[in-house]
Amino acid sequence: MIVVKKTQNMANAKTIDYQDSYSANLPTKEPSLTIEEVGRGFFSTAPSWLKKLFMLRNKLVKFIGLKVGKEAEDREAMLAAYNFEVGEAFGLFKVFQKSDNALIIGADDKHLDFRVSLLIDRSATEKEKLTITTTVYFHNWTGRLYFIPVKPFHSLAVPAMLRSIVKKLKK
């Protein structure tokens, strides 16, 4: 059984408008797992209901001028070749920072900016831990309005994706 734990909401009203963090133990302690493998897991394990919601989101928001990601014809082949280098984008997500154990991806738009951090904690004594942290910065009232329907789905989607990533990495 894969246990996903939510940390306390760390949002600071002066700088960060929303933040959450979820973590789960990885299947191995061996440092053979790369941050690129974790990134590929992040982009390839979304539940089908989330993929459908994201497609609906893209159809709706493009009419009001918000960013939408490009849909790749052969997403799996493109993802397999993707290196997660700083500045590259995969769909809506741009790589902002990368190290051996962390990847920070996200997007900046006119209504809000968001970042998703994928962190492999190699300091754990028994097993490595993967933590996914999302941070959102609102620019204006449209960002706040946009996030109202997103927030409940986000709190369902990230733990589901984390479980799926860990299952995929076990194989």
Q: How far is CA 44 from CA 18, 130, 168, 169, in A?
A: 25, 16, 9, 11
Residue pLDDT, tens place only, 100-159: 999 999 999 888 899 999 999 887 666 788 999 999 999 999 889 888 988 988 888 899
Confidence of residue 95 (pLDDT cuts 50, 70, 90): very high
Q: How far apart are the first and last CA of the chain?
A: 15
Structure tokens at 124: 């754990």
**148 CA to centre of own chain:** 18
Query: Which CATH number goes with the domain that contains 50?
Result: 3.30.530
Find all residues with CB under 8 Å of 21, minimum gap 6, and list them: 6, 7, 10, 131, 132, 133, 134
Structural domain total, the chain: 1
pTM of the model: 0.81
> Which residue segment(s) compose the domain that 108 sits in?
5-170
Average pLDDT over residues 3-15: 57
